Amino acid sequence: MILEAQYQQRRENFLARMSHNSVAVFLSASNKTRSNDTHYPYRQESNFYYLSGFKEDNAALVFVKTKESTQIVLFVQKKDETLELWNGKRLGEKEAQKLFRVDKVYVGEDFTEKLKEFLKDKNKFYYDFACEDARLQGIKSVTQKLKTHVNASALVAEMRLIKSDSEVELIKQALKITKIAHHKAMKFEKQGKHEYELQAEIEYIFKKNGASSDAYTSIVACGNSANTLHYIENDKVFEENELVLIDAGCEFDYYASDITRTIPVSGKFTEAQKELYNMVLDVQLHIIDMIKPHAMKSALQEKAEELLCRGMIKLGILKGNSKELLKEKAHKKYYPHGIGHWMGLDVHDSSPYRYDDNKEIPFLKGMVLTIEPGIYIDKDDKNVPAKYRGIGIRIEDNILVTSNGHKNLSKKIAKSIEEIEALSR
């Protein structure tokens, strides 16, 4: 749980990044229509939540900064018995003022007029450039007159790079639930059943154990389906002696996990599957071991590609000299994606990988990222030994950068062939 004092500190940190004589606006997420008058489950916009901890829609957070003073204002939806009958209770203006350490709370209906007041005589406006909320459109004529516009979301994305202890604890809790789900998947009797049946088991475990939702649409890809990186149909029947790639994670109090395991349908890896799997696992373990403060993600990517290329040559998947193959990017046919990404409030956290001057951001204590090497060989690829065709493998863990190295937050999720086979059936 993140306490209000931490949200207050984040707001103060953001104020410190603002120029004098400026205003910043963050808007809550809008309800998204599924069809007609039904909606998707509501999830708060991540930057707004990061700064406020407020989970309701129709809200706004405004920062005002001059040389003489600062002000932070929260706008919330007013209490309305009829709306609450249909859509649930609202905190309201008075209760929000008690709970949140802001200077003032107003009802949402006051947003446009109050913001116009705040913008008077200011010269810089901070907001999310990707935001298309109608509330911003309503003050467009005012904001266009300001000299400078700044993408506020980029500033918050930098702040989100370093996770606090309480944020790491929430990620750990998400991973505890994810471990139960993936181990259930390993134990699940798969032969003759559909991918969506296993998906249902995984997502049931998420909900049963207190996850607020899945962190992304679960991938349950059997056989050649694993060679489609964003496969989400999950409608094939499991076949004996095939592998199933499971990329599934959950959110716990808004913080994500992101885990991939590749397991045998029949409970045992074939010899060819073992060869490919151990190659990918060896690469992953090597790359994880490289993570420490001041290391660079680009170095991890380069090393992963080098090791995977060498492994492919050893297994006869690629033929030739590794330096030449790497130069030609021949290995990218079988490993087309990156080694990992930032993770936190979003499964793909929006934090930057480079500073404004394009210099790469080094790893620092408190950063959390995924490490996910893989290999993907289509069933119709005649350039590869037949025994490897139709196999897709990815192994993914969630890693915390510590003061002197790293910690694998997901190390308790079975990963070696021996561990997986011991759990599988």
Mean pLDDT of 24-44: 93
Place of tokens 């799997």: 277
Who contacts 37 (Cβ-Cβ below 8 Å, separation ≥6)?
Answer: none
Assess whether pLDDT exceeds 90 at residue 233: yes
Give residue 1's pLDDT: 82
pLDDT digits (tens, 9 = 90+) for 285-327: 999 999 999 999 999 999 999 999 999 999 999 999 999 999 9
Spatial CA neighbour of 146 closest among 128, 123, 119, 112:
123
Residue 215, number of CB atoms within 10 A of its CB:
25
E strand map for 177-296: 213-214, 219-222, 243-248, 250-252, 255-256, 259-264
Mean pLDDT of 197-203: 98
Query: Could you give the residue ranges of the DSSP H alpha helices within 160-215?
Result: 165-187, 195-208
Q: For residue 39, what are its two tokens? A: 């909606």
Q: How confident is the model at residue 162 (pLDDT cuts 50, 70, 90)?
A: very high
Give me the active site residues, please: 37, 230, 247, 258, 337, 341, 348, 372, 376, 394, 396
What are the CB-based long-range contacts (under 8 Å, 24+) for 379-388? 379/223, 379/224, 379/227, 384/316, 384/317, 385/315, 385/316, 385/317, 387/272, 388/272, 388/275, 388/276, 388/315, 388/317
Q: For residue 141, what are its two tokens? A: 């004529």
CA 59/CA 30 separation, integer angstroms: 9
Q: Phi, psi at residue 239, to the nearest 5°?
A: -115, 145
Contact present, 349 and 343 (Cβ < 8 Å) = yes
CA 289/CA 236 separation, integer angstroms: 36
CA 222/CA 195 separation, integer angstroms: 7
Burial level of 256, CB count in 10 A (0-12/13-18/19+)?
A: buried
Q: Measured on CA atoms in the order 325, 327, 332, 333, is the torsion positive or negative?
A: negative
Mean pLDDT of 11-33: 96
Instruction: Pinpoint the residues of the chain covered by CATH 3.90.230.10.
Output: 165-423
Instruction: Pinpoint the residues of the chain covered by CATH 3.40.350.10.
Output: 4-159
Place of tokens 């079975």: 414
Assess whether pLDDT exceeds 90 at residue 138: no
Mean of the per-residue pLDDT values of the chain: 96
Task: Say whether domain 165-423 belongs to CATH 3.20.20.70.
Answer: no
CA 315/CA 324 separation, integer angstroms: 17
The residues pairing with 148 across neighbouring beta strands, listed in sequence order, are 124
Residue of 423 and 424 predicted with greater confidence: 423
What is the second-level CATH architecture of the domain 4-159? 3-Layer(aba) Sandwich (3.40)
Mean pLDDT of 177-201: 97
Give residue 425's pLDDT: 64
CA 299/CA 424 separation, integer angstroms: 35
CA 135/CA 25 separation, integer angstroms: 11
